[in-house]
Amino acid sequence: MKHRKSSQLLQQLVFVGPSIVFFILIIVVPFLLGMYYSFTDWNGVSENINWVGFDNFLHIFANDPKFQTAFWFTVRFTVVGVVLTNIIGFFLAYFLTKPLKTRNILRTIFFMPNVIGGLLLGFIWQFIFVKGFSAVGDVTGWSFFNLPWLGDEPTAFWGIVIVFVWQTAGYLMVIYISSLTNVSPDLLEAAEIDGASRWQVLRSIILPLIMPGVTICLFLAISWSFKMFDLNLSLTKGGPFGSTESVALNIYNEAFVNNRYGIGTAKALIFFVIVAIITMIQVRLTKSKEVEA
């Protein structure tokens, strides 16, 4: 009996031990430590760390207009980015589940930007916005292309949105394709015989049936856009004048540029709480809309 117990313990250690160790060292300890730092005035280097209570949080809410700008930028970006990338991803999938001759190669093309990391993509598009767009503008004469794209507040926002959609729509397309191919053709045929229009079929039959796919895609798109960092860094670095600084970039700058670890970790904690709340609301909302055929 005793032997058995000790062999169970050994198995637990061998099988689960390594994962637990890395998980605790790399996620749990920093997470708890971050909570502690967020109530201190630590600068990242100094030996003395003073407990300051809620001062950091008060500072962030009352005296940090840059964080508020970053927060609203991130919210606007998330709303616009999530809606656009899902609509485009869905329609790419919708048309690429039709019997097109080129559909396999098109699927490859639409997905391809996604395998490239955000940092390199951002640099590629920096060139497109700076040189490529003006060249297209010269050829076509369309003033749209001659805008100062990354150099001006409103267009810089849309610049990041364009690159984000270009990068992520293909990924969502793949998920939507797999949802769409699961919709039974019999159902669609039946609806057509009953005289439903293409729009009605899409809205009343296809959409409710692919709701699990929609949940996943919304979830992914929200989490990508809300946590956007790489694209932001390589496209605009938050500029012009901090107008396109995401929360993630703001946290990074606070800690590693301004060396205010206390305030940085406080922001990081706020960021975590918001992400957790959004995730929970979103999963609950869309799960309740799922229908079974």
Partner 1 sequence: METTKNYRFSTIVTEFIMVLIGLLFLVPFYFLFVNSVKTFGDLLTNSAAWPEVFQWGNYANAWEKIKFPSALMNSLIVTVVSNLLLVLISSMAAYRMVRSDTRFNRILFGMFIAAMVIPFQSIMIPLVTVTSNLGLIDSLGGLIICYLGFGAPMSVFLFHGFVKSVPLEIEEAARVDGSSVYGVFFRIVFPLMKPMYVTVIILNTLWIWNDYLLPSLILQSSNLRTIPIATFALFGQYTKQWDLALPALVLGIMPIIIFFLLMQKYIIQGITAGSVKG
- One DSSP character per residue, 81-147 reads HHHHHHHHHHHHHHHHTS--TTHHHHHHHHHGGGGS-HHHHHHHHHHIIIIIHHHHHHHH--GGGGS
Q: Provide the minimum distance between the beta carbon of 173 and partner 1 in the complex, in angstroms, as a whole number.
A: 10
HSE-CB at 222 with a 13 A cutoff on CA atoms is 16
Binders of partner 1 in range 62-91 (CB under 8 A): none
Candidate list 276, 281, 291, 293; residue touching partner 1; CB under 8 A: 276
Binders of partner 1 in range 113-132 (CB under 8 A): 113-120, 123-125, 127-128, 131-132
| Site membership for partner 1, residue 60 (CB under 8 A) | no
Residue with tokens 């989490």, as numbered in its chain: 223
Q: Tokens standing for 27?
A: 């996620």
Candidate list 105, 190, 285, 291; residue touching partner 1; CB under 8 A: 105
Candidate list 82, 161, 180, 255; residue touching partner 1; CB under 8 A: 255
Q: Give the 3-state secondary structure of residue 51.
A: strand
How many residues of this chain bind partner 1 (CB under 8 A)?
Answer: 91
Nearer to partner 1, 127 or 241 (CB): 127
Binders of partner 1 in range 129-158 (CB under 8 A): 131-132, 134-136, 138-139
Candidate list 58, 100, 190, 293; residue touching partner 1; CB under 8 A: 100
Q: Provide the minimum distance between the beta carbon of 84 and partner 1 in the complex, in angstroms, as a whole number.
A: 14
Residue by residue, what is the 3-state secondary structure of 59-94? Answer: HHHHHCHHHHHHHHHHHHHHHHHHHHHHHHHHHHHH
| Site membership for partner 1, residue 252 (CB under 8 A) | yes
User: Which segment (50-58, 147-155, 171-179, 199-207) binds partner 1 by CB under 8 A?
Assistant: 171-179
Q: Tokens standing for 251?
A: 């946290």
